Amino acid sequence: MPSKCFDYTIEQIKAMGKDKTKANFSKLLNLFFVPVFPVEIKREIVSSIGRYDYNDEIYDFISLEAFNNNNPMELIYQMFRTCLYKARDDKRFEDLRKRIKNYYDNEVINKADDFYNFKEKQTVNKISKPMLLVGDAEKVLNILPDNSVQLIFTSPPYYNAREYADYSSYHGYLSKMKSILLVLHRVLEDGRFIVINVSPVITKRIGREFESIRYPIHYDFHKILTEAGFYFIDEIQWIKPEPSVPDRIGGYRQTRKPLSYKPNCITESIMVYRKNADFLLDKNMKNKEYDRHEDEEIDTSNCWYIAPARDKNHPAVFPDELARRVLKYYSFEGDTILDPFAGSGTTGRVARAMNRVPIMCEINKEYADLINKAMPEYYNQYYNQEEAKSKCEEINTDII
Ligand SMILES: C[S@@+](CC[C@H](N)C(=O)[O-])C[C@H]1O[C@@H](n2cnc3c(N)ncnc32)[C@H](O)[C@@H]1O
């Protein structure tokens, strides 16, 4: 896109906005009405006009031009920004801000307005010691303060896919998951990420004459995640070597009969969502120290090729390497990492190796005991069911 037009470049317009003479101001106002200027030059003109203190003229200018339907929305947004900024000291711009917002009432304007209204409400409660909680995540996580976790990474129980899954209906399963997501939303720091590993599951059929049901869990998780207050950022595909997954294509390979095609499923979804916040991600990254790890490989695409893992004690573990990448890209050293469905404790083990503070929660006491046994000195706050129960009672909460 050329930034030069009729002898004016964006840089020159910017310079006029900085060199605040009355002559420059009048020139900028006139330049705005030159019809042939491209929108990016005009946007810079509006932005530069807004930097002056001539509020009477600026107010008159925006009062007319913000409601001129011939102006592209990019210019209107810039005028709206000027109003947000000037409204701090000049009441007229507050009214103008409201009028523009009501007139356009679109997502961009509303988002900018939310951002402006955001008052520093950071009550980050940092947890500095590893913790292992035994019980139902919906209940035991109540002992954690608001905004106390910087990343949630987990793989929820798969509806009826494994022996531990025990829900009377898919709807009941989703409803339980949503209740837990609401708790996770409370404990996650504003603007931080929740990363969920899921894949479609199939329910067992009781005979060949019946059809088995396949559930696209990740689609339904999108709905409950957004209802709980998170929004979509990315979907990463975890891709496994084909020989490592159950064979579904055998039947078709033999018959080549259309409709009987069932490809081998070598991917799982890694759903990346952010907790709603009225501020940009920049704020979550501000003042964080980190090592650049110059020579470390970067995953440049959303396809991650990682072999699956097995564990003799747990039927559904994810590999350390998957946790390592998620923690590397979505958390800083020293951050508190929560896995509400800890299983064999993969997330906790990797978090420890990467100098993060893990909080693990697991409903199955045997699995929890195994996690604790593997690192007895580490989980210095191990709450078994009874202890967690009393902790919850302290804050008037029930536990299973
Ligand atoms: C898919 S596995 C997690 C495996 C884990 N990512 C690993 O690598 O070992 C899900 C775990 O969630 C646990 N779980 C199921 N419902 C739970 C609940 N309501 N609260 C806490 N844990 C639960 C199950 O016992 C199971 O161990």
pLDDT in tens, 255-293: 999 999 999 999 999 999 999 988 889 888 887 878 777
Is residue 28 within 8 A of residue 13, CB to CB? The reply is yes
Residue 399 lies inside a defined structural domain of this protein: no
* Alpha carbon of 266 to ligand 1 centroid (Å): 22
User: Which DSSP helix (H) or strand (E) runs through 78?
Assistant: helix 73-86
375 shares a domain with 315: yes
Out of 117, 152, 172, a domain closes at 117
Which pLDDT band, with edges at 50, 70 and 90, does 6 fall under?
low
Which residue CA neighbors atom 26 of ligand 1 most closely?
343
**Rounded to the nearest 10 degrees, what angle do helices 320-330 and 346-353 cross at?**
60
Burial class of 270 by CB neighbour count within 10 A (0 to 12, 13 to 18, 19+): buried
pLDDT digits (tens, 9 = 90+) for 171-204: 999 999 999 999 999 999 999 999 999 999 887 7
In degrees, rounded to 5, the angle at the alpha carbon of residue 153 between the alpha carbons of residues 306 and 146 is: 170
242 shares a domain with 182: yes
Out of 92, 117, 142, a domain closes at 117
pLDDT reported for residue 399: 59
Is residue 203 within 8 A of residue 169, CB to CB? The reply is no
Chain mean pLDDT for the chain: 89
Of 175, 201, 133, 165, the C-alpha closest to 338 is 133
Which pLDDT band, with edges at 50, 70 and 90, does 397 fall under?
low
Query: Among 132, 341, 346, which residue has the most ligand 1 atoms within 8 Å of its CB, making it the best to mutate?
Result: 341
Of 288, 255, 188, 200, the C-alpha closest to 228 is 188
Residue 69 lies inside a defined structural domain of this protein: yes
142 shares a domain with 57: no
Is residue 59 within 8 A of residue 96, CB to CB? The reply is yes
Q: Which residue has the tokens 């479609």?
A: 200
pLDDT digits (tens, 9 = 90+) for 332-378: 999 999 999 999 999 999 999 999 999 999 999 999 999 999 988 88
Q: Which residues line ligand 1 (CB under 6 A)?
A: 136-137, 155, 157, 164, 314, 316-318, 340-341, 343-344, 346, 361-364, 367
Residue 212 lies inside a defined structural domain of this protein: yes
pLDDT at 165 over 60: no
Query: Among 201, 317, 362, which residue has the most ligand 1 atoms within 8 Å of its CB, making it the best to mutate?
Result: 362
DSSP single-letter state for residue 142: G
pLDDT at 117 over 80: no
For residue 319, which atom of ligand 1 is closest to its CA? Answer: 8
Weakest-pLDDT range from 25-34, 153-162, 293-302: 153-162
Per this entry, what is the length of the chain? 400
* Alpha carbon of 193 to ligand 1 centroid (Å): 19
Mean of pLDDT values over 203-221: 84
Q: Which residue has the tokens 């580490």?
A: 378
* Alpha carbon of 314 to ligand 1 centroid (Å): 10
90 shares a domain with 174: no
* Alpha carbon of 169 to ligand 1 centroid (Å): 18
Is residue 317 within 8 A of residue 306, CB to CB? The reply is no
100 shares a domain with 54: yes
What's the CATH code of the domain at 252? Answer: 3.40.50.150
Is residue 270 within 8 A of residue 318, CB to CB? The reply is no
388 shares a domain with 243: yes
pLDDT at 2 over 60: no
Residue 32 lies inside a defined structural domain of this protein: yes
pLDDT at 40 over 70: yes
181 shares a domain with 100: no
Residue 126 lies inside a defined structural domain of this protein: no
pLDDT at 1 over 50: no
142 shares a domain with 90: no
150 shares a domain with 213: yes
Backbone CA torsion sign across 249, 254, 259, 260: negative
Residue 142 lies inside a defined structural domain of this protein: yes
Is residue 236 within 8 A of residue 257, CB to CB? The reply is no
Which residue CA neighbors atom 19 of ligand 1 most closely?
136
Count of structural domains, the chain:
2
Which pLDDT band, with edges at 50, 70 and 90, does 118 fall under?
low
pLDDT digits (tens, 9 = 90+) for 67-101: 999 999 999 999 999 998 898 889 899 999 999 99
* Alpha carbon of 341 to ligand 1 centroid (Å): 4
* Alpha carbon of 197 to ligand 1 centroid (Å): 12
Percent of the chain with pLDDT over 90: 67
pLDDT reported for residue 46: 95
DSSP single-letter state for residue 212: P
pLDDT at 121 over 50: no
Q: In the numeric block, which tokens belong to residue 51?
A: 């930097």
CA distance 342 to 369: 12
Q: Which residue has the tokens 């060949």?
A: 208
CA distance 126 to 381: 15
Q: In the numeric block, which tokens belong to residue 316?
A: 């559904």
More confident residue, 1 or 154: 154
102 shares a domain with 137: no
Percent of the chain with pLDDT over 70: 93
Is residue 343 within 8 A of residue 328, CB to CB? The reply is no
Residue 344 lies inside a defined structural domain of this protein: yes
Domain housing 199: 131-394
Residue 155 lies inside a defined structural domain of this protein: yes
- Chain centroid to Cα 300, Å, comes to 19
Mean of pLDDT values over 319-339: 97
**Residue 150 is which amino acid?**
Q
**Rounded to the nearest 10 degrees, what angle do helices 22-32 and 55-65 cross at?**
0
* Alpha carbon of 104 to ligand 1 centroid (Å): 46
239 shares a domain with 109: no
For residue 165, which atom of ligand 1 is closest to its CA? Answer: 15
Q: In the numeric block, which tokens belong to residue 207?
A: 């005979």
Out of 117, 141, 168, a domain closes at 117
* Alpha carbon of 249 to ligand 1 centroid (Å): 30
In degrees, rounded to 5, the angle at the alpha carbon of residue 222 between the alpha carbons of residues 130 and 271 is: 50
pLDDT reported for residue 290: 81
44 shares a domain with 147: no
Mean of pLDDT values over 44-64: 95
